[in-house]
Structure 1
Amino acid sequence: MTHPGLALRRMRALRGMKQSHLAEVLGVTQATVSRWERGIGGPEGAQAEALERMLAAPTAPGSDAALKRLVTRSPDPVHLVCDLTHRLLAASPARTAEWLAPAEDFIGERLFRFASDEIRAWEARLPDLGWYDLAAPRVVFHTGANRDPELRILPGWMAWERIRLEDGSLARLVSPADPRPGADAHDGDSAREACIF
């Protein structure tokens, strides 16, 4: 597992877990967990395996409601879809402002029909990228506009992260991304088209 910071923070928020408790469970210091969450280093060996099991485990009852509240109250343009069907589960006001339509118009609807060409291409690549592995990588890529008047997708960098819901199903958090080295992506070619981590 490389740079699990965002997944660690989200897991702790959903489970109401402090860094010190996670550190105790993994047998490391709180400072180590803090560094991992900032993308500095990462767990190895038995710690990485234990963390992968924790990230893959269903969350506590009611955590889906907490996740949806986090999404719908986010100041960032984010939305949550079922990873299998692409049905919309929740969206932030900033996202629906981009769409030019309220989230209520699309809750439960399959959003893939609105996908840009780039989103369709990256969706097709997910199996080769390890998306369906136990600890799915975070995928960051650039998309163009979809030119759809019903649900608008603006050009820009986006990130996909997979989240296990309390019923065991998987959801995908879609959020804006910063492709600069040290921001949301690994160091590397600044002209790269995507980053997987």
Structure 2
Amino acid sequence: MLTNDHGRRLRRMRLLRQMKQSHLGELMGVDQATVSRWERGILDLSEAQWTAVCRLLAGPLGSAQDVALKRLVESSMRKVHLVCDRTHCLLAASAPRQAEWRTGLSEFLGKSLLVYASPEILAADVTLQGLGWHDGQLDSLEIDTGPNADVKLPIFQGRMLWERIMLADGAPARLVTTIA
């Protein structure tokens, strides 16, 4: 089961999409009251439900600008990927980034990559609120990473650049580039 924090994140994502609880419930195969209980933290979402919600609400790249951004990420010669800044769900990845992974892109697309994060990445992510990242006071940050020892999606020791960008619908995204 997932935490109450997921309920707050679910509500923010749903409101960004300007979607009613009843519509989300219909898409998820539950009633509006269940969505309301999820958002209030009364009822926990299962891991599978959270993954499904991320796929529905993480912001499919649909506008012309977002499609161009996705194309630029996918065609980059650098190790780069794009995630929803709130859910960490993968939106796009370059071929060099995918080459590091032991599983195909479809395994990760629309799913949160936070479960694969190294301790250094998790620690850096926790500091973002205090740095003003979510308030738009900081739009880029370099972090040192350590290995995660994951077989499917390995992360190696190095340095990454995080850049916060807004998608056309107002949802924040994070462009992650390996720089060393």
**TM-score of Structure 1 vs Structure 2, range by shorter chain:** 0.5 to 0.7
CA separation in 1, counterparts of 2:79 and 2:93? 8
**One-letter code aligned to 1:138:** S
CA separation in 2, counterparts of 1:172 and 1:85? 10
The aligned residue for residue 103 of structure 1 is 105
The aligned residue for residue 131 of structure 1 is 133
1:78 aligns with 2:80: yes
The aligned residue for residue 117 of structure 2 is 115
Structure 1 residue 104: Cα displacement: 1.8
SS in 2 for 1:132: helix
Deviating beyond 2 angstroms after TM superposition, the runs of 4 or more aligned structure 1 residues are 133-137
CA separation in 1, counterparts of 2:137 and 2:73? 22
The aligned residue for residue 67 of structure 1 is 69
Structure 1 residue 135: Cα displacement: 4.3
Residue number among 94, 100, 108 corresponding to 1:92 in the alignment: 94
SS in 1 for 2:133: coil
Query: Structure 2 length normalisation: TM-score?
Result: 0.63
Query: Structure 1 length normalisation: TM-score?
Result: 0.58
Note the residue ranges of structure 2 that are not aligned, 5 or more in a row.
Answer: 1-61
Structure 1 residue 167: Cα displacement: 0.7
Note the residue ranges of structure 1 that are not aligned, 5 or more in a row.
Answer: 1-59, 179-197
Q: Is the 8 A contact 2:118 2:146 kept in 1?
A: yes
Count of aligned pairs between the two proteins? 119
Q: Is the 8 A contact 1:129 1:137 kept in 2?
A: no
CA separation in 1, counterparts of 2:66 and 2:153? 25
Output aligned runs, 1:151-162, within 5 Å. 151-162=153-164
What RMSD, in angstroms, separates the aligned Cα atoms of the two structures? 1.5
CA separation in 2, counterparts of 1:140 and 1:107? 24
Q: Is the 8 A contact 2:131 2:137 kept in 1?
A: no
